[in-house]
Amino acid sequence: MAQTTATAICVFSMNLLLISMLPCVASMSSGFRLKLIHRDSPHSPLYQPNLSDFQRFKRNVEISEARASYFQRWSEIYSEGNSMKPQNISLRLPLKFNEPIYTVELGLGTPFVKRTLIFDTGSGITWTQCKPCFQCFKQKEPLF
């Protein structure tokens, strides 16, 4: 019960914060902007300077592959003709999938205090299917 109350207070506070920011955002002619900082940028608090470019690339590919594998398993469960019931199957999200990709800096309060937040985009790499494609996922859109 206490955790539910704390969660409700947190959600209410965040909504109040966002509502209070609307006049400021509405008065800006250019809109509201956040600078995304990739975790491999030297400007990121998540930056690991000891990693080589190849190690960074390999880590990003592994995260993206874990994400694709996760969605592939879900699509197999929900595919037509599958006799398994999704509610009876436990799929664990790979740990690699949970790594943050981007952060943003946000200033709050008076006096202005910078806070670094994790910005969840789902992935740092965008994959698309290209021709020739031998093992493609079914999609309505044409292949690239």
Domain locations in the chain?
1-32, 34-144
> pLDDT value at position 140?
75
Q: Tokens 């031998």 belong to which residue?
A: 134
| pLDDT cut 90: percent of the chain above it | 5
> pLDDT value at position 29?
52
> pLDDT value at position 55?
92
Range with the poorest average pLDDT among 14-18, 92-96, 108-112: 92-96
Inform me whether the pLDDT recorded for 103 exceeds 70. Answer: yes
Cβ-in-10-Å burial (0-12, 13-18, 19+) of 94 comes to middle
Of 7 and 61, the structure prediction assigns the larger pLDDT to: 61
> pLDDT value at position 142?
77
Backbone angles phi, psi at 120, to 5 degrees: -90, 115
Strand segments, DSSP code E, in 58-101 are none
Inform me whether the pLDDT recorded for 136 exceeds 90. Answer: no
| Terminal CA-CA length for the chain | 51
> pLDDT value at position 6?
57
